[in-house]
Amino acid sequence: MPPKIVFFDIDDTLYLKHERRIPASTRDALHQLNARGIITAIATGRTPAVLPEPIRRLMDDTGMEMLVAVNGQYVEYRGRPLAQFAMPPVQAEAVSGSLKAHGISHGFVSAERISVAAADEPLHRSLGDLAIPYEADSGHVGREPVYQMLAFYPESRDAEIAALLPPQLKTVRWHPQGVDIIERAGSKARGIRAALNALGLEMADAMAFGDGLNDREMLEAVGFGVAMGNALAELKAVARHVCPAAAEDGIARGLRELGLID
């Protein structure tokens, strides 16, 4: 049976981040899914405030109404909040203090913005690679929900920084200099469950495409998980199917290989 809904990661899945574009074949493929009655949706690590403009246009053009954002910590449906999993302010403050004491630049993610407590070269490099805007504001906590934190340091400091975090939190690396800090129970899969509940659907009804470490739980939880050809080997190992790379019309070719479009 074909899926009833397909969730797509953004960066290097739908969107070629270094080229700042969406392949024309991807746009056509999503229109074909819609024509066949298959819902299309986004599942991203980004917060709504920093969606690339081409993605916003794609969502409008193809009628995407479901947005699983901030690695499943914040879900919108038809432009309104559907599910929210915020960090306790006292926890965010404590983590910020520990990172600051160890000279680690870091930030806070809400639905409206990314705020950073301090900026340095690892931060500029990480957020700059994805053209992600941010504000310098160390007073974010307590004023707005913090759905996750960001920290900027090389992999060589992974063990050191992990030891600073409370057991309820985990890190997920998305850049050689950047990680997400979220609840250990948090993932795109959790956000997708909330999205499917609102639509009256089950995990078995869903398919998902992704390429990064933050896509692993999603690909394992849905009925059929697809890894991009440019995905990390760890993700390909848990996928049900590996399609061509995003830059090689991977979305369209993958959907065609699976018999979902012409």
* Residues with active-site annotation: 9
* Rama region for 71: left / alpha / beta (φ>0; ψ in -120 to 50; rest): left
Q: Please give the Cα distance from 3 to 193 (Å, whole number).
A: 15
Q: Are 45 and 214 in contact, with CB atoms under 8 Å apart?
A: yes
**Edge-first strand listing for the sheet containing 169-175:** 135-136, 114-116, 105-109, 148-152, 178-183, 169-175
Contacting residues for 42 by C-beta, under 8 A, at least 6 apart: 7, 8, 10, 14, 55, 59, 64, 66, 67, 68, 69
Tokens of 191: 């956000």
